Amino acid sequence: MANNVQRVELRSDWQFKQVRQGNWLPAIVPGTVHTDLMANGIIPDPFIGLNERGVQWIDKEDWIYRTAFGVDESIFSKHNVWIEFDGLDTYADVYLNDSLIIKADNMFRRWKADIRQLLKRSDNELKVYFHSPVKVDVPKWDALPYHYEAANDQSENGGLFDKKISIFARKAGYHYGWDWGPRLVTSGIWRKVSLVAWNDVRITDVYTEQPLVSKAKAKIRQTIEIFADADGMAMVQTTDHAGNNYADKKVKLEKGVNTVTLEFCINKPKLWWCNGLGKPNLYTFNVKVQKDDSSDTYTQRTGIRFIKLLTQKDEWGQEFCFELNGVRVFMKGADYIPCDNFLPRVTKSVYEKTIQDAVDVNMNMLRVWGGGIYEDDYFYELCDEKGILIWQDFMFACSLYPASGALLENIRQEAIDNVRRLRNHPCIALWCGNNECQDGWYNWGWKKRLEDQKPEYAEKVWKEYEDLFYHLLPEVVGKYHSAIAYWPSSPFGGYGHGSIETSGDYHYWAVWHAKKPISEYNNTRFRFCSEYGMQSFPEFESVKQFAPQPNDWDIYSDVMMSHQRGGMHANQLIESYLLSEYKRPKDFESLLYVGQLMQGDAMKTAIESHRREKGYCWGTLLWQINDCWPVASWATRDYYGRWKAAHYLMRNSYRDILVSPIEKDGNLQVYIVNDRLTSTSGQLSIKVLDMDGAVRNQHTKQVRVPANVSKNVFSVPVKQLLNHEQTDQVVILAEFTDREHYGNIYYLKPPKDVKFKKSAVVYQMIKVVDGYRLVISADKVARGVFLSLDGTDNFFSDNYFDLIPGAKKQVYVKTDLNEDDFRKQLKITILNNI
């Protein structure tokens, strides 16, 4: 029997206009005002050049969207017809046939209305009126005698002086600007809008819990929410992908919302594992309700696994470690921000590429950071399929927030809505209250500033903080997703103070914001480092996309500066880190290249140091995997999806086994970090090579490393190792071979002090599907081999690597170019020759 619930997306015939102006123009839904203005040729692309500045008027205007639609008899004849908006950004009044049906005030919530009585067979007019978020929120700012901190809100760029109003709106924080993002305060129907029509019964939610999971057996409990038109008996059943029965039950439904529970066991379940530890096995549950002639089916794909956050007190402080299916897992990953300022244009393929790029460099976790959005369903589906665990922040970042009365209630609904939406995804590992709000309070002077103004203000604001992050959000998680831990803030090291290195998670910004040298990464340790980073510019081919004019090719040009939201300070930091470790690059293009290497080397240093501390430390998430527009930032992949040096280098640093040499107190020590769940034995080889690739000294040793630990396996005084060679004329090659081969290259001096020789890098090319395979070699040790082609429409499987003479490196290049053009265009840059 056919499913009796029908869905139609309202995608077509949309128009929009500025309320104060007359012309209706064609619009795309889902979409934003900015993208519609662009499509109509009214504004230029704000991502190019200085265009962002000229579009700041848009958020001060009200906008209307409208469409007219008719419905088929099959819908019109249904007893229930609802309109459902998956997302309205943000202050939106929705009218159907001139009746107000929804008044929305939270971008993160889903909104719906019963429209059965208002619906006509044809010529329905749907109108959505968007109030300017600036006009709505500036009066709230004006009315307060004190102000909520909003460190990253670029109010001045929006012509609002110091009125940082972002904290009033339940709207993505980064829309108001960030230290990597433009100020583009959007409005629009940003997620899909649909009509849903049905008779008699509809399943509105299925919550699948796993109260007991072991290798032998998983107990599954499903709480099924069914909406019924009338009292009566119904059959509820869950089957697998092939229609085999898991459980069924005859139930008596009552008119309205019903909750039905089904319980069953799965023997020898195929557990869901994160990337690197096993397969992310998924199960399909088809849940069906049948009442008389009407039925509804709800399909869910989920994984069977149990995840715990271990936070025991210990001799150092308090640990912070995720346990998956009974084993401790060292988290390797990055922080994630939204992929675009204009969210509706993030396509499925952008999501696929982003998650695949995480998988391809051996990550197992991403942290969805609190200044963006609760991501699209598809994002989490991909993480489920590919074994990427998600640390999910609630959407609060780097600010203090009003949170009382109706606003607090609004936030409660937002939290319920999103926890319910995401709780069946096996990828969800943690719910976290906010990003850095608690550190801001205790460590960045926010508390003191308010107290100095008036102690009552500080008391009020802190009460709001506690109500929200210590009470409301943990209550919602406890009630709607109790299997997953709640963590009040990132970073968090306990109540009553800011974060500390010995407890909980930590954001380490002494390198970068506090200007400590990169080598400091080796002198610090954390229980879980959930943020650290180093900025770089996008590569030259990406820069040309947003700064096409040669006279802008200077990092201090107006265009480059407007695509550097850390300001002058950030450019100076990049330069000073660069010059402390590398020789001064000769021109703009080389500066971009060397800057990327610098970021890559810094991230390699940090990751390796965190992993060597495995056992004390249980995770490393670098800031950040992506950009929301083309910009200089901490991202390891630029807005166009191109991998920066750091992303390439990370792949080796995040492998299941890491060989990590480090010079400490005059000794060269080598660690092997084993992330496998089994022990390993193999051969360790340490070679000292000169710049011609000749072996000057060598040690080999059989080593055994137990499962899931970091072990110091080798130590030798550097003097003895070098055997009269000079520290600036050698490279150390550390290798470990068990069933696979692992390698790492280590220098005893920063690149500017190493005496690299001029090197000729040569290649052979073989045509393969979609491009070429290159076999690359060098006659001298070649540092940071960077391959590039014109434009951004190509991909190199490896890049920015070092080459040892005698070794042959295989690189696959995805490109449409024919052989001649490819040879003409291919540019090989190395640090030696810069």
Pick 635 or 691: Cβ nearer ligand BMA: 635
Does residue 180 belong to the site contacting ligand BMA (CB under 6 A)?
yes
Stretch near ligand BMA under the rule CB under 6 A, chosen from 7-15, 72-80, 178-186, 352-360: 178-186
174, HSE (Cβ side, Cα atoms, 13 Å): 24
Residue of 753, 745, 708 lying closest to 729 (CA atoms): 753
Which is nearest to 66 in space by CA: 135, 136, 130, 132?
130
* Least separation in angstroms between CB 157 and ligand BMA: 16
Quick one: 86 or 375, whose CB is closer to ligand BMA?
A: 375
Read off the DSSP letter of residue 794.
Answer: -
Structure tokens at 64: 């209307």
- Smallest distance, Å, CB 652 to ligand BMA? 25
Amino acid 571 reads N
Is residue 653 a contact point for ligand BMA (CB under 6 A)? no
Of 566 and 585, which has the nearer Cβ to ligand BMA? 566
Q: How far is the CB of 531 from ligand BMA (least distance, A)?
A: 5
Beta strands in 667-708 (DSSP E): 667-674, 680-690, 695-705
CA 788 – CA 592 distance, rounded (Å):
13
Query: Rule CB under 6 A: is residue 628 a binding residue for ligand BMA?
Result: no
Smallest gap from Cβ 436 to ligand BMA, in A, equals 5
Q: Which is nearer to ligand BMA, 531 or 690 (CB)?
A: 531
* CA neighbor of 152 nearest in space, from 172, 124, 125: 172
Return the number of the residue (96 or 432) whose C-beta is nearest ligand BMA.
432
Q: Kindly state the smallest distance separating residue 509's Cβ from ligand BMA, in Å.
A: 6
| Exposed / middle / buried, residue 770 (Cβ in 10 Å: 0-12, 13-18, 19+) | exposed
CB nearer to ligand BMA: pick between 180 and 772: 180
Mask of contacts with ligand BMA, 394-433, x by CB under 6 A?
---xx-----------------------------------
- State in angstroms the smallest separation of the CB of 488 from ligand BMA: 15
Please state, in angstroms and rounded to a whole number, the distance separating the CA atoms of residues 622 and 612: 16
Which residues are CB-neighbours of 417 under 8 A, at least 6 positions away?
108, 109, 110
Binding residues for ligand BMA, rule CB under 6 A, total 11
d(CA 345, CA 350): 9
Of 64 and 500, nearer to ligand BMA (C-beta) is: 500
Q: Could you tell me which stretch among 165-173, 175-183, 600-608, 821-829 binds ligand BMA (CB under 6 A)?
A: 175-183
Smallest gap from Cβ 490 to ligand BMA, in A, equals 8
Q: What is the spatial distance between Cα 447 and Cα 462, in angstroms, rounded to a whole number?
A: 8
| Cβ distance to ligand BMA smaller for residue 305 or 507 | 507
Q: 3-class DSSP state for residue 52?
A: helix
8 A C-beta contact, residue 120 and residue 97: yes
- 494-501 contacts: CB < 8 A, separation 24 or more? 494/318, 495/470, 497/442, 498/438, 498/439, 498/441, 498/442, 498/443, 499/438, 499/439, 499/443, 500/317, 501/525, 501/526, 501/527
Does the footprint of ligand BMA cover residue 507 (CB under 6 A)? yes
User: Among 85, 91, 87, which residue's Cα sits nearest to residue 126?
Assistant: 85
For position 506 contacting ligand BMA by CB under 6 A, the verdict is no
* 627 lies in the site for ligand BMA, by CB under 6 A: no
If the CB atoms of residues 562 and 680 are measured against ligand BMA, the closer one turns out to be 562
CB of 472 to ligand BMA, least distance (A): 22
Pick out residues in 427-446 that bind ligand BMA (CB under 6 A).
435-436
Q: Is 709 exposed, middle or buried (0-12, 13-18, 19+ CB in 10 A)?
A: middle
Q: What mask, x for binding ligand BMA by CB under 6 A, covers residues 199 to 238? A: ----------------------------------------
Contacts of 539 (CB under 8 A, 6+ apart): 592, 593, 596, 638, 642, 644, 788
Q: How far is the CB of 13 from ligand BMA (least distance, A)?
A: 40
The nearest distance, CB 628 to ligand BMA, in angstroms, is 11
Q: What angle do CA 264, 268, 272 make, to 5 degrees?
A: 90
Please tell me the distance from the alpha carbon of residue 509 to that of residue 639, in angstroms, as a whole number. 23
The nearest distance, CB 377 to ligand BMA, in angstroms, is: 25
Task: State in angstroms the smallest separation of the CB of 498 from ligand BMA.
Answer: 13
Q: Considering the rule CB under 6 A, would residue 531 count as an interface residue with ligand BMA? A: yes
Tell me how far CA of residue 171 lies from CA of 11, 166, 372, 432, in angstroms: 23, 8, 8, 18
Q: How far is the CB of 821 from ligand BMA (least distance, A)?
A: 39
User: C-alpha 160: how far from its chain's center?
Assistant: 30
Question: Cα(293)–Cα(498) distance, rounded to whole angstroms?
Answer: 60
The residue among 487 and 772 lying less far from ligand BMA, judged by its C-beta, is 487
Least distance (Å) between residue 444 CB and ligand BMA: 11
Give whichever of 435 and 744 is closer to ligand BMA, judged by the CB atom.
Answer: 435
Give the residue with the Cβ less far from ligand BMA, 148 or 180. Answer: 180
d(CA 46, CA 177): 13
- Site stretch for ligand BMA (CB under 6 A), options 64-72, 177-185, 412-420, 788-796: 177-185
Query: Would you say 330 or 634 has its CB closer to ligand BMA?
Result: 634
Q: Which stretch binds ligand BMA (CB under 6 A): 158-166, 176-184, 241-249, 650-658?
A: 176-184
Residue of 47, 91, 178, 553 that binds ligand BMA (CB under 6 A):
178
The whole-angstrom separation of Cα 614 and Cα 619 is: 8
Question: Min. distance of Cβ 152 from ligand BMA in angstroms?
Answer: 6
CB of 187 to ligand BMA, least distance (A): 24
Q: Contact between 629 and ligand BMA (CB under 6 A)?
A: no
Contact code string over 754-793 relative to ligand BMA, x by CB under 6 A: ----------------------------------------
- Concatenating the DSSP letter of every residue in 540-572 gives HHHHHHH--SGGG-STTSHHHHHT-TTHHHHHH
Q: Is 582 in the site for ligand BMA (CB under 6 A)?
A: no
Q: How far is the CB of 469 from ligand BMA (least distance, A)?
A: 16
Question: Looking only at residues 336 through 365 of this chain, which bind ligand BMA when binding is defined by CB under 6 A?
Answer: none
Site for ligand BMA contains 179 (CB under 6 A): yes
Residue whose CB is less far from ligand BMA, 16 or 532: 532
User: Looking at 173-181, 377-385, 408-416, 652-660, which segment touches ligand BMA (CB under 6 A)?
Assistant: 173-181
Q: Report 247-276 residues binding ligand BMA (CB under 6 A).
A: none
Tokens 């009442």, located at residue: 291
| CA dist., res. 400 & res. 410, Å (int) | 17
The kind and range of the H/E element at 475 are: helix 473-480
Tell me the CA end-to-end span of the chain in Å, nearest whole number: 71
Question: Per CB under 6 A, which region of 174-182, 277-285, 741-749, 782-790 contacts ligand BMA?
Answer: 174-182
CB proximity list for 246: less than 8 A, separation 6 or greater? 220, 238, 239, 240, 262, 264, 266, 285
- Tell me if 623 contacts ligand BMA by CB under 6 A: yes
In the bound state with ligand BMA, the residue whose beta carbon lies nearer, of 530 and 605, is: 530
Looking at this protein, which amino acid is placed at residue 46? Answer: P
Binding site residues, ligand BMA, CB under 6 A:
178-180, 397-398, 435-436, 507, 531, 623, 634
